[in-house]
Amino acid sequence: MEPLPDPQTPADRALHAIEATIGVILGRSIGPDENFFEAGLSSLDLVRLHEVGARQLTVEPPVTVMFAYPNLRALRRHLAGEGTVADVGGRTATASQVRRVGTARRELRKRNRSESEPQ
């Protein structure tokens, strides 16, 4: 993906900073659909990229965003508010669907803990 000449929105500025940092880390730019890990970035690199991008945003997203959206195109869509997450297991989910699954998992864990406690 070509670098943004003059980023206007916080999301554009975050993506511009992330792309520039990837170039510094890898010594090259990466394609819009190139997976961060397959390009040579490590988990620590993704945490660093999150920090770089978060400085440009008004609301800091969780660091897991960098793992859930594994390439520049997916990350750009997410930050632009299109709300799709990475293709996981051949399926694409919206951000609200992912939140519902997370809520359901937490509720299930809570119920399992309360049922396993001695009475």
Please give the Cα distance from 10 to 80 (Å, whole number). Answer: 10
> How far from 75 is each of 15, 57, 96, 110, CA to CA, in Å?
8, 14, 16, 32
% pLDDT > 70, the chain: 74
Q: What would the pLDDT profile of 1-34 be if each residue is shown by its tens digit?
A: 455 456 678 888 899 999 999 999 999 999 999 9
What is the distance between the alpha carbons of residues 22 and 41, in angstroms, rounded to a whole number?
A: 8
**Mean pLDDT value across residues 103-113:** 80
Q: pLDDT by residue (tens digit) across 49-58?
A: 999 998 888 7
Q: Say whether pLDDT at 90 is over 50.
A: no
